[in-house]
Structure 1
């Protein structure tokens, strides 16, 4: 016996009728559509090459877009919609063109990372402009220069809120700095080129690592004070006792339970201390620090790789560079590429 399926549809004026065994309605752009868009743009705009070179270029271009779509899907699926935007298509084409030309996988990873951030910017703003410029600059940099930017960014522009003792401090140095120290260079041309590309400015002034870390993580490097010393200067040990803990460096003494000035302000306000009380407490965080040699010794003791960092820092222009917005964007992309650590670019670029 044959059973025929009879289907019937009726629709009003200006309606849309759909009929079939299986219907999929996709409102918006799919990942397949996105890949086709990027591939078509690349084919339409890339230079004509010999058959072998053209095949290699297409292969690299498709590899980059596959990696990009995979990263977008994992980090921000909604960003796939920006593939219909001419500005985003142009950004992807530039990345494909440079990777097709150079073929370095590290470069591809950097470009993909920046593209994913770029796809998240749906409106024209400073972050979008900086990311577009970063796509132009990254192909002009070596891995050593990328790592140089990242080291400067970590030390001069960031603070890890998980650091609260020597153990977490050591883990922080290993996770955030160690991956970038082996490629650092003292060559002046490296820093001249970074300045030429607009990633940094090199000034006459300089800063040293021990001072930077001691200011960022003051609580780690406090030598402590006795109850008597506190009473002599402040006069009310018991009042402030909730803010005091045994000193990390000397258990016979005390220190403030704060890693830096901001943390002290927050904790003091939670205890409803007055502004005058906070001003009174600040010297106990700032004037009981290790000296330069003590600081350097304890920092180097956290890992041999710090010897390399100190050597390059003290004997090159690394200690004198200031990152531009593009330098910061590239540095954070390189940080994520090599460690998986993600930071919010919007903190530095607004």
Structure 2
């Protein structure tokens, strides 16, 4: 199917389904619908041209029309960017799956929330589901972790934290409330090795030493130079240490982690915005909030707009 054919199908979806409005309103709505359609198709052609034929799929046309209809009526540019990102993600999902369902529901949900709510979902995503990879060294990972978080947080400065906002996000099906989780605990779940302050030499058996390097911030201590504890088996294999020692070394690699205040100080160094948002995240309600599949899809798409290196949604929603 050629690009002009796909474009015509996508525009026909709007023309044949949108209600007629009076006066100039219909003309404005049609121009907006054409604009968001063009932006979506161009984004899809750049990122995943093999999926352009999805425009002929009935289920996808329904999702596309929801996005067209919303932007045609609201004209909200920030919401439009998120809708385009969700459409591109949805276009990759031809099989019925949790991701496809979550993305379809996200396209219906986004028009019901504000850009501040979307930033809030991205904030929760960042601080609860952070993944760090692709760094050239352990030391680089520690510093780039801070730089990445600070740059992203600057873009999420408008995050909402009022009880009314969080309760509304819960009502909208984007978050669910559970037990409060401190930021340091959330980070321990995702990047425990990076927030460890290392261990002293007397804690390490001689045969384990090849797995350790001097800690970048504490010369008298040692750390295992990995960003994800899941990488430990391959690391031990590289340095010639038997896997039977994995559990004990993992325990050392993830011990002596930064306290809540020390973690705040390190990650927010030189950034008032980061400090404010960390404090916001540790609030009673925010620290108890976790993302549903729909909230995950929405939070991810805005983060991907800020950080192009962010892995695809399939990294978190695997089915």
Task: Give the match for residue 189 of structure 1.
Answer: 164
Q: Report 1:72-91 matches (<5 A).
A: 72-91=44-63
The answer as to 2:90 corresponding to 1:118 is yes
* Correspondence for 1:248: 216
Aligned partner of 2:150 in structure 1 is 174
What do residues 96-135 of structure 1 show as CA deviations (whole Å, max 9, x unaligned)? 1111111101111111111112122222222222211111
CA distance in 2, matches of 1:122, 1:287: 43
Does 1:202 find its partner at 2:177?
A: yes
Distance in 2, matches of 1:40 and 1:193, equals: 35
Deviates more, 1:324-333 or 1:209-218: 209-218
Report the CA distance shift for 1:62/1:326 in structure 2 as closer, same or farther (over 3 A).
Answer: same
Q: Which residue of 1 aligns with 2:290?
A: 322
1:134-173 equivalent positions in 2, closer than 5 A: 134-162=106-134, 164-165=138-139, 166-173=142-149
Correspondence for 1:32: 4
Change (3 A) 1:255 1:127: closer
Q: Which moved more, 1:51-60 or 1:287-296?
A: 287-296
- The aligned counterpart of 2:33 is 61
Distance (Å, rounded) in 2 between the aligned partners of 1:307 and 1:90 = 42
Question: Which string of whole-angstrom CA distances, capped at 9 and with x for unpartnered residues, describes residues 53-81 of structure 1?
Answer: 01001000100111111111101112111
Structure 1 stretch displaced more, 50-59 or 242-251: 242-251
Q: Provide the alpha-carbon RMSD of the alignment.
A: 2.1
- Whole-angstrom CA distance in 2 between matches of 1:263 and 1:129: 31
In the TM superposition, residue 316 of structure 1 has moved relative to its aligned partner by: 4.7
Per the TM alignment, residue 136 of structure 1 is displaced from its structure 2 partner at its CA by 0.3
Q: Find the counterpart in structure 2 of residue 282 from structure 1.
A: 250
Highest Rg: 1 or 2? Answer: 1
Is the partner of 2:290 in helix, strand or coil? strand
- Is the aligned partner of 1:109 residue 2:109? no
Q: Flag structure 1 segments of 5+ consecutive residues without an equivalent.
A: 1-27
Does the C-alpha gap of structure 1 residues 187 and 270 become closer, same or farther in structure 2, counting only changes over 3 Å?
Answer: same
1:276-318 deviation line (CA, Å, top 9, x unaligned): 3122323322333333333332223253222111221223521
Report if aligned partners of 2:152, 2:306 keep a CA contact under 8 Å in 1: no
Compute the displacement of 1:82 (Å).
1.3
Pick closer, same or farther for the CA change 1:149–1:120 going to 2, 3 Å.
same
Q: 2:123, 2:159 within 8 Å by CA — same for their partners in 1?
A: no
CA contact (8 A) 2:129 2:190 kept: no
Deviation at 1:92, TM superposition (A): 1.3
Gap runs ≥5 in structure 2: none
What residue in structure 2 maps to residue 264 of structure 1? 232
How many aligned positions are there?
A: 314
Q: Is the Cα contact below 8 Å between 2:132 and 2:191 reproduced in 1?
A: no
Query: Could you tell me how far apart the structure 2 residues matched to 1:343 and 1:59 are?
Result: 33
Alpha-carbon contact 2:132-2:228 (below 8 Å) kept:
no
The offset of 1:38, in angstroms, is: 2.4
Distance (Å, rounded) in 1 between the aligned partners of 2:260 and 2:82:
37
Q: TM-score, normalised by structure 2?
A: 0.90
Describe the shift of the 1:311–1:290 C-alpha distance in structure 2 as closer, same or farther (beyond 3 A).
Answer: closer
Equivalent residues of 1:222, 1:249 under 8 A apart: no
| TM-score (normalizing by structure 1) | 0.83
- Output the CA distance in 1 between the equivalents of 2:47 and 2:169: 30
